[in-house]
Structure formats: structure tokens, C-alpha cells
Amino acid sequence: MTALSALGLREPIAQGELRALEVAEACLRNDPGALAAWAFRDADFLRAQARGLDSHRAAGQALGPLHGIAVAVQDTIDTLDMPTARGSGLDTARRPEEDATLVGRLRQAGALLAGKSVTAEYGFPGSCSARNPLDPARIAGVAGGGAAAAVAGGEAQLALVSDGAGAVLADASYCGLVAYRPSPGRLSTRGVFALDRAIEGPAVLARDVADAALLAEVLQGFDPQDPATRRVAPEPLLRIACAEPPLAPLFAFAKTSLWDRCAAATREGLSELAEVLSEVPGGLCDEVDLPEVFDNAPVAQRRLLAVGAARALGSKLDRAPEAFSEEVSAAIAEGRGLSALDYLSANDWREVLRAGLEPIFARYDVVLTPAALGEAPLRESAPPPDGAAWNGGLLWSFCGLPAVCLPLLSGEAGLPVGVQLVARRGADAQLLRTAHWLCARVDAIMSEEVLPTGEGRTA
């Protein structure tokens, strides 16, 4: 049962062939400490939720789109009935007075809240204690590895996380999952902890693109308490994602400055995929070079996070310096040492780089690029706090662009390696449709077979 997708579970639950309590029991089958995926999980509370949902169905009440589906919620996202410690020992007793907007939408959709997944300290990019279900000797992810471990290990079908520096793309890559980080403003950030809301925001983890689109569709929408959201009609993301595009999408293959640091298998796999796509009649993929100015993104993003850490956590550090890791303490100190000009200049780089990408998006539908350097690192050699050394998503999250990670490649040890697709800001539905298109055809593409539909176009 735990191998089924969320969409695969929906119909049996709706038809009464499967109860929410059975889904809950399946998610609880593992030793709770095996993956170290949870900051908080109460088996009795999960069962009580499931019984309530089963009673709701038995009474003939309408079912929500996530009825009986287990969703992990990262420990940086507020929940009324569970603690939200934000990955810090200082906040273990913190009990929010209300749900984050997105958690409220999960409840309205009938989701089972599986628990609060482990995150790195205050979500700051660094190492996370969760173990990788595919190889427990390796990490499950960076900032939000607990959610990735929970979904990949069958302890939840979906996950809601907060993403900073594009780390969710690496988490998904390491665990063989799909990650979708939406355009800013699509999902409410009320009740979601962030060091800097300009470059951090909610994201979702799932086992396939359709499940990711389903969850994002439930969560999207205007929130009067979040001025970044807009009062616009919600998009049918699931229907669009699963639809055939009218024309085969065009890919811009960007290696970025991380390319030389990528594992050989990552470089070979991506290059082969780009080459086969480029050989489709009409040419679906071209390699593009990014100007050297894009190498400034890691430094600028680090400055924004450092200032955000100093603003959000500086007073806590002053009261209890021993409670902070060396990495977060250093970031707070760095943020305190930066001037307002440093911060504003770093923020200005986002607009400069986004403008520099416009010529690419004027010609191509998506950018094809690495999601991570390679397979999940061994726990004793976990990624350093400087995300530029491991994270393919950093540049794109800094620019505020939507992205997905697709588990299409594998490394030398046979573990998954993700491919990242990036679209222009606001083109989320098109991005998901392209991701679904690529996943549905990757076996044929890698076998150099002819694509069954949309056999290319001239840009």
C-alpha cells in the first residue's frame, strides 16, 4: 500500500475499498527511529485522525481531494495540535496558536497529518539528521531531509516543506523523489518560518509529478494574510500537468558553474539526455552558456540568508549562544557585520540575473540543469553549509523561479540522481506539464526511439 501514489490511493479510499485507518497503519509499520525522519510523531494521534476521516466518509459526507492521504509537514511550518520546534532545541516547547494557512488547507482537503518532519536548525542549509531509506549510511537531504526520508520510506505519501537556497531539489534528488518549488506568491507563507521570504518559501515533495501537482493544486490560492499572494483564479495544475503539450517542449541545457563539481555519472547522464533530446526532429534541446555574472548568486544569496538569520535569530543567540550550531552562529555574526548597502546590493542581483535569463525563456520552455552534484553523500561526509558546493537549485531559487526535480538518472552506486527543470516566473503549470511529458517519455528518449507525439518544432 505504501508503494502507491497519492492518486493511486484516492479511488480505493473514495470507493470504501480502503480506509484511512489502514493508510495510517501502513505508514506506521516502520520502526519510528529507523530513518530518524520525525521531529514529532504520535501514532495514537495519527490513528485518531484516520478514524475521524473514516467516520466522515461513513456518514456520507463529501470527501476532500486528499481524503485519507498521509502528508508529512516540515517542522518549520506551524501546526496548532503539534509542536513546531523549527529544528532547534530552544523551541522544543513551542506550540503555535494556529495552523499555517497551508496546514489549514491540508485539513480542509481531508489529509492525514502524518507528523512533523525533521529539519536542519531553523531550516538553515546544512546537514539534516534523517537517514536515506535507499541507503541508511547516506543522508536523506540537506535542510529538509526528514520529509524526503518520510516519503521515500513510505511513512507518508506527500510532504509539505519550506525551501531555502533550493535545498528541496537536492533532498528529492538524494531520495529519488519529485520536488516542486513554486513561483513566489503561489503558496501562502503565513505560518511558514523563513529567514528571508524573498528567497525562501513553501514547496512540495511527492513520488511523481502528478502527485506533486495534486498537492500544489490543493495548497495554492489567495491568502488575505499574505500580501505576496494574489487574488486570481486557481489553476487546475493536475489536469494541465497530465495533459499532452500542444507542441513538444524546448529545453535549454545549462551546465552552470557547478558542472565541474558534478560526479562523472551525473555529467554523463545529463549530457546524454540533452544529446538525445537535441536529435529529435526539429531539435528539442540546445546547450546554452550562462554569463559569468551568474556566479555571483551564491555570495548574494548567502548575504541575504545571513542578514535574515541575524534579524530573526540574533536575540536568541544573545540569550543562549550555546544552543546554536557553529554554522548558524557564524551566519548570524556575518549578517550583523553586513551593511544595509550590502543587503540591498545582494537583493538587486536577483533582478539583474532574472533579466539576464529572459532571452533564454523567450526561446525555450524550460532550462535543463543538474539538481545535485550526484548521489546522496555518506553521512560522515555530509554537505558543507555553503550551498554553492552541492546544490543545483541555489541559483534558480535566488532568482525566484519555479523548479522541479525529476529522479531520472542514477549514479555509480545505483542510487538516484535528479534532473532539474526551471521555468520563467509564473509558468508553473507549463513547467509541471513539461516535467510530466519528460518523465513519461524518458525511457523512449534514452533508447533513442521516436517520440509518439509532438515530434519537435522549430524555435
Decide which of 196, 211, 241 is a domain's last residue. 241
Taking residue 199's Cβ as centre, other Cβ atoms within 10 Å add up to 25
Domain of residue 40 covers 6-241
CA neighbor of 170 nearest in space, from 198, 195, 193, 139: 139
Question: Looking at the whole model, is its pTM more than 0.85?
Answer: yes
Are 156 and 255 in a shared domain? no
Q: Are 128 and 86 in contact (CB under 8 A)?
A: no
What is the count of structural domains for the chain? 2
pLDDT per position as a tens digit, 154-209? 999 999 999 988 899 999 999 999 999 999 999 999 999 999 988 899 999 999 99
Tens-place pLDDT, residues 199-256: 899 999 999 999 999 999 999 999 999 999 999 899 999 999 999 999 999 999 999 9
Considering the domain architecture, whether residues 227 and 265 belong to the same structural domain is answered as: no
* Cα 246–Cα 206–Cα 119 angle in degrees, nearest 5: 135
Domain membership flag for residue 205 = yes
- CATH number for position 185: 3.90.1300.10
Same domain, 179 and 226: yes
Q: Each residue's pLDDT tens digit in the chain (459 positions)? A: 667 799 999 999 999 999 999 999 999 998 878 999 999 999 999 999 999 999 999 999 999 999 999 999 999 999 999 999 999 999 999 999 999 999 999 999 999 999 999 999 998 877 788 999 999 999 999 888 999 999 999 999 999 999 988 899 999 999 999 999 999 999 999 999 999 988 899 999 999 999 999 999 999 999 999 999 999 899 999 999 999 999 999 999 999 988 999 999 999 999 999 998 998 777 799 999 998 899 889 899 999 999 999 999 999 999 999 999 998 999 999 999 999 999 999 999 999 999 999 999 999 999 999 999 999 999 887 655 444 445 688 899 999 999 999 999 999 999 999 999 999 999 999 999 999 999 998 866 555 554 444 444 433
The verdict on 163 and 276 lying in the same domain is: no
Q: Does 185 share its domain with 260? A: no
**Strands across the sheet containing 200-206:** 38-40, 112-117, 70-74, 158-164, 200-206, 178-181, 403-410, 416-422, 366-370, 251-254, 285-288
Q: Is residue 392 part of a domain?
A: yes
Q: Which three cell numbers stand for residue 280?
A: 529529435
Task: Check whether residue 211 and residue 119 sit in a common domain.
Answer: yes
Query: Rounded to 5 degrees, what angle do the CA atoms 355, 357, 363 make?
Result: 120
- 237, 286: one domain: no
Domain membership flag for residue 304? no
Examine the domain organization and report whether 118 and 196 are in the same domain.
yes
Both 178 and 88 in one domain: the answer is yes
Span 315-326, pLDDT tens digits: 999 999 999 999
